[in-house]
Structure 1
Amino acid sequence: MNKWFEDKERFFWILHTGGWAGFVLVYYLGSFLHDMRAVFVLVIVLNGIAGWLLTIPLRYLYRRIWDFQPLALIGSMLLASYLIALVWTVIKNLHYWEIYKFGYVPEDWIYYFTNSLASFYIIFSWSGLYFGIKYYQMLQAEKRNVLKASSMAHQAHLKMLRYQLNPHFLFNTLNAISTLILVKENDTANKMVSRLSDFLRYSLDKDPIKTVTLKQEVQVESLYLDIEKVRFDDRLTVHFAIDPEVENALVPSMLLQPLIENSIKYAIAASEQGGTIWISANAFGKDVLIEVADNGPGVNLDESSMYRSKGVGLPNIKERLQSLYGDNYSFDIAKNQPTGVKVRIRLPFQEKKRGKEN
């Protein structure tokens, strides 16, 4: 049904014909007080056909004067409606006199314009509906354009935020590969290149606008951590604790990577003994609670918010979450016990539907 009304040309003819058919029906129902001979019904139908034909030129006239100034536009509409109403009045009177009155001729020509005011009201109503519907269509089209532009800007913003996160990791990994090559650790370097290739392939394949399941996100972060384990060897320990209940929960793609990268940078790389990273996810009412914690040196406290100086990607994460969820999320950074940092993210529990790719 919507396809019928999406075509403006078809939509006009449907409304135009339906409106005059309605006029005939209303006139017929309101004429029960008259002599209801079949010939009177014929007069009503002929009047409707005449109105249908006479208002068609108005459509093309109104198209030409559409850009007139408001006063000129209203004046032109009134004049055109009145002239068409006069012609229609004459035709209606002729139908009535020639068909219903069997050739009655009035004494004076002025009688041909009898009831022209009533005809003017009907034609003017047609004109008003035409302009009203036309303006409504124009406003709806502008609204769709604004929404489309807003959506495109929103998507571009999200893509920009997501792709700002990857260069940090890429720079660190390439530096590590370069170092391995210099010290003749070719097998290890080859292993890192292979895993880096898999990681980047996933990163490029996944649209940052869309979401992935938490299970997929954990898998790609495991791949990322495998790369980092090549760099840090026994200095990096990782513990995953993902509740199976939330494995199909949808999360922004590459959400955890900058958090883990921060832990690598500040908890693992900064300590000769290395450290541990804990990644957990659980159901929390109607939400999903995700935590990334480490046992590094900790954080500074500034106006009740916890942050790491020059932390990678944290502002971007908040902006992505704000863009995707509005106010229906939380992002907190706190001290881990006994040492380190704990990042806690709460998101709406939106589960992937079976058989449908997100």
Structure 2
Amino acid sequence: MVVTRWKAILEDRNRFFWLLQVAGWSGYALVHYIGSLMHEMRDIYALVLILGAYAGFLLTVPLRYFYRRIWDVKPWYLIVIVLAASYVSAALWAVIDNATYWEIYKFGFRPETNWFYFKNSIAKFYIMLSWSGLYFGIKYYQMLQDEKQKALMANSMAHQAQLKMLRYQLNPHFLFNTLNAISTLILIKENDLANQMMQKLSKFLRFSLDNEPIKKIPLQEEIDALLLYLDIEKVRFDERLQVDIEISAEAQKALVPSLFLQPLIENSIKYAIAKLEQGGRIHIQAERFADDLLISVSDNGPGTKKSTAELLASGGVGLSNTRDRLQALYGKNYSFTLTDAQPQGLKVAIRIPFEQAEIS
């Protein structure tokens, strides 16, 4: 609660200024009072110090609004104006301070004490100049932080837009295949199967809409969504499509990008299962290894002799899209490799940082 309150104060520029203003001038009075503890009339002198600090407090408030108005002038003009404004404020402060001394101690400005007044105004000029320097320094720092925050926000928005584009790029491809299959089932009078397929498609799309592309979900939820997709495909392939899932208990709780396995399975079905008359098998495996999560998707299809680069270029949108999403999310801290499966087929191996899902 206290941290939240202080954070709110620091983010509110106006409240932050007044906090620093009060703290700064209070500190000024306290430091001078500690230095005058041996003063014979320290109780009265404390009043003088408080009045002097209050005068400085009041005189610097107009400076804040004045500096706002001249903020955009040329640097050399700004320096000259700040020096002049600081000296004028110091001179007024010296007059008020001197009058306070005269009223309380019964000595102050007199014709023969012009040198004392001048020295007092110069001393206060340095204080006012320090206040001005702090004001501009803090103001420039806040502006730099604002620009940095804006740059980070713009980068984050661009990053999110890229991830959404990559994820949503898959939906039309998947929908086209599924709707085409439903249309075929209707044409051959398989209305019950078409209805089942439509219901499973509805559940899958609901899951897709409920999970943003930039959101990470537990691997178990990803597998649940994948099973919905596989149920749809099994309507098309029936017993020709066999799937083995081997996920360790620890890996089930790991956070992964939502719906990043579906395009890999779709790729295996398209280039492996669909090409085999007797159908084929897809094997999904995931386990934790040290600080990484290792995931593999393999099939027993005809395989390929193409290089990874050629496969990414010719393997449809699924492979390259998944790799691009991983790169956008994890930077260089991931791996995505394509190798031959044993005894035949293709294997996609993924390594990403292991992130534990929080249990509420």
C-alpha change, 1:346 and 1:108, in structure 2 (3 Å) is closer
Equivalent residue, structure 1, for 2:173: 168
Query: Mapping of 1:100-249 within 5 angstroms?
Result: 100-102=105-107, 105-107=110-112, 111-249=116-254
Q: Which runs of 5+ in 1 are unaligned?
A: none
Equivalent residue, structure 2, for 1:59: 64
For the residues of structure 2 that align with 1:276 and 1:108, how far apart are their CA atoms? Answer: 102
SS across alignment from 2:128:
helix
Query: Mapping of 1:268-347 within 5 angstroms?
Result: 268-302=273-307, 307=312, 309-347=314-352
For the residues of structure 1 that align with 2:192 and 2:284, how far apart are their CA atoms? Answer: 29
How many residues get paired?
A: 355
Runs of 4+ aligned residues of structure 1 deviating over 4 Å after TM superposition are: 108-111, 303-308
The offset of 1:117, in angstroms, is 1.3
Identity score, percent: 60
SS across alignment from 2:317:
coil
Instruction: Indicate which of 258, 262, 268 corresponds to 1:257.
Output: 262
Range moving further from structure 2, 327-336 or 277-286: 277-286
The answer to whether residue 59 in structure 2 is matched with residue 47 in structure 1 is: no
Query: Mapping of 1:23-38 within 5 angstroms?
Result: 23-32=28-37, 34-38=39-43
For the residues of structure 1 that align with 2:28 and 2:290, how far apart are their CA atoms? Answer: 59
For the residues of structure 1 that align with 2:114 and 2:223, how far apart are their CA atoms? Answer: 90
Q: Which runs of 5+ in 2 are unaligned?
A: 1-5
The offset of 1:345, in angstroms, is 1.0
The offset of 1:309, in angstroms, is 2.4
For the residues of structure 1 that align with 2:238 and 2:51, how far apart are their CA atoms? Answer: 93
| TM-score for the superposition, normalised by structure 2 | 0.93
SS across alignment from 1:5:
helix
The offset of 1:245, in angstroms, is 2.6
* Contact 1:330–1:346 under 8 Å retained in 2: yes
C-alpha change, 1:239 and 1:114, in structure 2 (3 Å) is closer
* Contact 2:308–2:338 under 8 Å retained in 1: no
For the residues of structure 2 that align with 1:313 and 1:170, how far apart are their CA atoms? Answer: 14
The answer to whether residue 25 in structure 2 is matched with residue 20 in structure 1 is: yes
Letter paired with 1:280: Q
For the residues of structure 1 that align with 2:132 and 2:188, how far apart are their CA atoms? Answer: 85
Q: Deviations over 1:136-177 (max 9, x none)?
A: 111112222221221111111111111112222111111111
Q: Which has the higher helix share?
A: 2
Letter paired with 2:181: A
Letter paired with 2:13: K
The answer to whether residue 352 in structure 2 is matched with residue 351 in structure 1 is: no
* Contact 1:306–1:334 under 8 Å retained in 2: no
For the residues of structure 1 that align with 2:278 and 2:239, how far apart are their CA atoms? Answer: 9
Range moving further from structure 2, 299-308 or 1-10: 299-308
* Contact 1:330–1:345 under 8 Å retained in 2: yes
C-alpha change, 1:103 and 1:70, in structure 2 (3 Å) is closer
Letter paired with 1:179: T
C-alpha change, 1:275 and 1:80, in structure 2 (3 Å) is same
Equivalent residue, structure 1, for 2:8: 3
For the residues of structure 1 that align with 2:212 and 2:234, how far apart are their CA atoms? Answer: 27
| TM-score for the superposition, normalised by structure 1 | 0.93
For the residues of structure 1 that align with 2:32 and 2:42, how far apart are their CA atoms? Answer: 14
C-alpha change, 1:343 and 1:107, in structure 2 (3 Å) is same
For the residues of structure 2 that align with 1:67 and 1:51, how far apart are their CA atoms? Answer: 26
* Contact 1:236–1:276 under 8 Å retained in 2: yes
The offset of 1:306, in angstroms, is 5.6
Range moving further from structure 2, 63-72 or 302-311: 302-311
